[in-house]
Structure 1
Amino acid sequence: MNEKKIWLSSPHMGGGELKYVHEAFETNWVAPLGPNVEGFELDLEKYLGPEAHVAALSSGTGALHLALIQAGVKAGDEVICQSMTFSASANPIAYLGATPVFVDSETETWNMDPDLLEKAIEDRLAREHKPKAIIAVHLYGMPYQHDEIKRISEKFEIPVIEDAAEALGSTYKGKKCGTLGDFSVLSFNGNKIITTSGGGALISKRKETKEKTIFLATQARDAAAHYQHSEIGYNYRMSNVVAGIGRGQMEVLDNRVEARRANFEFYQKQLAGKEGIRFLNEPEGFMSNRWLTCILTDSFEQREEIRLRLAKQNIESRPLWKPMHLQPVFEKYPKYVNGTSEQLFDKGLCLPSGSDLTEQDLIRIIENL
């Protein structure tokens, strides 16, 4: 196998990151605070809009954890979670000793089915278990059906935690993903549309929530000359060094979205009319960053034939997320399913989608497809 490796979604530096990282070293700001952290937060707030108050954290998972805490989730509570997602969406529910209740997807966006969500809430209420929060995910950068889910959350007075880990740069009816929930979460993991190597952010509409997030993320230290703690805290604050990477990445974010969308358009054009290959199109008013380009095949066997063929040629691809209600660690928990996510998992494949893919890379992928 002499061909170079084509990765599913590799980090893509813009060149400006080193300036901020060098500043961190030159000023000895290498701790989980400093001018890059504050600057990165301001960069994100400027991008997301005036209602966004951003706290930069060590991971998107930590951001979800702190969102759940501030939503009042405690041991024994229930939290509704989209089943078709990565496990990091559900794990923080378990951290708190709460119970995840999984809701399946609809076919238009592959995200949480609003009708099934409403039925799930009504059933939990009938069992005298009112959910404390709803975790809805913008899967692979495609926005979920925000208006419908917001209507349901307001009807039952349950806050929405918007998992926008994969959706920075996506919009819903002109509104930026990451600003739609009562709490919103971003991820800057190495495979995301921009990266800080590892990191995340919690976004809220109130400055007080941002301040509370930072307090909890820095071990909940009270305002005192000595170390005093009245609440349990966490070591979740982003470091000044990796925040410098984020500042450089923000300078090229729009270019990264453009490149990922161009990858999708290339695949869609080249594979148009090919038997057994379908794409997820954007509903009216939805704009996906196309973090990953995904295809649906006709069968599990066809998906595996494609995946293994690409792997033999040193090209990474990956099945769609295995639904949470099928995961061994979560299979005992309540679930409201319609079969959609299981079919997506059986037949869906993520294609290489990095913003650093060359034309030669894309042609090589298509030739093997």
Structure 2
Amino acid sequence: MITNSHTVPLSAPDVGDLEQEYVLAAMRSGWVAPVGPDLDLFEREMAERVGVPHAVGVSSGTAALHLALLGIGARRGDVVVVPTLTFAATANAVVYTGATPIFADCDVTTGNLDPFVLAGLLAELSAEGASVGGVMTVDLFGSCADYKQIVPLCEQYGVPLIEDATEALGALHRGRAAGSFGQAAALSFNGNKIMTTSGGGMLLTADADLAHRARHLASQARLPAEHYEHAEIGYNYRLSNLLAALGRAQLRRLDEMIERRRAVHEGYAKVFADIDGVRLLGGEDPMANCWLTSIIVDPERTGWQARELAAHLAERNVETRPVFKPMHLQPVFAGARTALTGAAEHLFGHGLILPSGSSLRDNQVRRVLDDVTEFLDGHR
């Protein structure tokens, strides 16, 4: 949807005076190139926030996923298990390494990777003697995957785990922060994420060697020499110092932005509380960051479908979006191997994401809730 000044956006950037202060200070310092003190500090501060020893600031969450996969040794001839309910970047990063993604279905309640599907798939692959390069999880819409079950499964089969936490910064699972699970994890600071650096991402890991390798590859794999010396192919993946300055300001405000999104989420929960056939995806996870609030509609019980509410809101300049189209339904991955239960297709067919941004003003939130209520009253 193309938005205008009267459109209520889905998840717009939330920036203000503090961000301007940090970016201006970085500009005045002269550190406008892709390295500098703000980048060093941003990496250190983010590592401390998540509780991991190492962080590498990069140009996008996709770059972080790519480097993480390279770090665990994913390569041509390997297969990597990927949740089918995700954004394309998760699967694309696997293809970048030459490995082949296998798409596994989700838990219908949370939308996250189904541990039971994963268990069956890993058993099959082990029996086949397949070279499994890794398992990727996605902390969908800001709610962590079930690591209590997934981590032991990966350990049982000796398969590295990569956590796509690009949507989940600030969320927790059993007291541990999103981004602290597995051999490495990826964050995204895209403009619509829980916090932004305009564009950017970060790789997180407890493995010093993996972090060093990622930093080397992200800097065009340049070797220490007076001239340009390269022994392997690298990538232009480093985050700029200016964007890191913006990220440092956003990190200071992260908790308040999460609380704002949780308040918006709670508003939707109250509106739909007495509507038979509507539930919030993920349930009421108190540790989620509520990046995006999605409802799942059972039309046989409600008498209406998610797309009808979407059309009603679009007429009133309120932006919505369907839940991710599963990767196994994407033309680019036609014919890929799958392990499916039908859950992801159900969520795609019956899900709707509602405006969730922390930058939403009170009057915008009231407007959306009133528009939703108007629709529900007309269908009671």
TM bucket by the smaller chain? over 0.9
Residue matched to 1:78:
79
Deviation string, structure 1 residues 260-312 (Cα, Å, up to 9, x no partner): 1111111111221123321135577x610010011011149611100111111
Residue matched to 1:184:
185
- Report the residue type matching 2:19 in the other structure: E
Shift of 1:126: 2.7
Is contact 1:14–1:252 with CA below 8 Å preserved after alignment?
Answer: no
Is contact 2:26–2:241 with CA below 8 Å preserved after alignment?
Answer: yes
Shift of 1:191: 0.2
Structure 1: how far apart are the matches of 2:322 and 2:122? 30
Structure 1: give runs of 5+ residues left out of the alignment. Answer: none
Residue matched to 2:377:
none
Is contact 1:6–1:316 with CA below 8 Å preserved after alignment?
Answer: yes
Structure 2: how far apart are the matches of 1:149 and 1:271? 32
Residue matched to 1:169:
170
SS state at 1:325 partner: helix
Residue matched to 1:323:
326
Residue matched to 2:47:
45
| 1:155 is aligned to 2:162 | no
Structure 1: how far apart are the matches of 2:219 and 2:49? 25
- Report the residue type matching 2:369 in the other structure: I
Is contact 1:20–1:36 with CA below 8 Å preserved after alignment?
Answer: no
SS state at 1:185 partner: strand
Is contact 1:109–1:143 with CA below 8 Å preserved after alignment?
Answer: no
Deviation string, structure 1 residues 23-59 (Cα, Å, up to 9, x no partner): 222222111110111111112122112x331100000
Residue matched to 1:211:
212
Tell which deviates more after alignment, 305-314 or 274-283: 274-283
| 1:350 is aligned to 2:357 | no
Q: Give the direction of change, closer, same or farther, for the CA distance of 1:22–1:283 in structure 2 (3 Å limit).
A: closer
Structure 2: how far apart are the matches of 1:130 and 1:117? 16
Residue matched to 1:100:
101
Residue matched to 1:134:
135
Residue matched to 1:23:
25
Residue matched to 1:236:
237
Is contact 2:108–2:347 with CA below 8 Å preserved after alignment?
Answer: no
Structure 2: how far apart are the matches of 1:266 and 1:100? 38
| 1:124 is aligned to 2:151 | no
SS state at 1:132 partner: strand
Is contact 2:183–2:207 with CA below 8 Å preserved after alignment?
Answer: no
Q: Could you state the TM-score of these two structures normalised by the residue count of structure 1?
A: 0.96
Residue matched to 1:32:
34
Is contact 2:191–2:198 with CA below 8 Å preserved after alignment?
Answer: yes
Q: Could you state the TM-score of these two structures normalised by the residue count of structure 2?
A: 0.93
Q: Give the direction of change, closer, same or farther, for the CA distance of 1:220–1:16 in structure 2 (3 Å limit).
A: same
Residue matched to 1:261:
262
Is contact 1:76–1:98 with CA below 8 Å preserved after alignment?
Answer: yes
Is contact 2:77–2:131 with CA below 8 Å preserved after alignment?
Answer: no
Shift of 1:130: 2.8
Is contact 1:15–1:248 with CA below 8 Å preserved after alignment?
Answer: no
Structure 1: how far apart are the matches of 2:340 and 2:141? 20
Counterpart of 1:332 (choices 314, 332, 335) is 335
Structure 2: give runs of 5+ residues left out of the alignment. Answer: 373-380
Residue correspondence of structure 1 range 263-302 to structure 2 within 5 A: 263-282=264-283, 287-299=287-299, 302=305
- Report the residue type matching 1:308 in the other structure: A
Residue matched to 1:252:
253
Identity of aligned residues (%): 42
Structure 1: how far apart are the matches of 2:282 and 2:334? 31
Matched residue count: 367
